[in-house]
Amino acid sequence: MNYLAHLHIAAHTRTSLVGAFMGDFVKGRAWQQLPAELAQGVRLHRHVDSWIDQRYLDAQLPQLFPAPLRRFSTIALDIYLDYLLCAH
């Protein structure tokens, strides 16, 4: 999932929007040094990414792309899923 989806989920769970956005930029265990509200947003971001990747992005959808493009398939899928979120 990409940024719009993470912000949407954060709003519904009343989690830090900034923390949800930071999830891709905070590396390793650096989230442990953040204020609790931001750390919770980063953890939620990572949990959502992991859940989606395990169920859809790593297994099924990338296989629909031609072999030379599969390397970029998760990026394209992130953008498409955000588009669907905006459109609906």
Res 1 pLDDT > 60 = no
Range with the lowest mean pLDDT among 11-15, 16-20, 50-54, 83-87?
50-54
What is the rounded CA–CA span in Å between residue 34 and residue 74? 28
User: How many structural domains comprise the chain?
Assistant: 1
Q: Which domain holds residue 35?
A: 3-87
**The pair of three-digit structure tokens given for residue 49, joined into one six-digit string:** 């990414």
Whether 6 and 23 have beta carbons less than 8 Å apart is answered as yes
pLDDT digits (tens, 9 = 90+) for 7-39: 888 888 888 889 888 888 899 999 899 999 999
Q: DSSP H helical segments within 14-72, as ranges? A: 17-22, 36-52
Its pTM stands at: 0.73
Q: What pLDDT is attached to residue 58?
A: 60
Residue 74 corresponds to which amino acid?
T
Q: How confident is the model at residue 61 (pLDDT cuts 50, 70, 90)?
A: confident
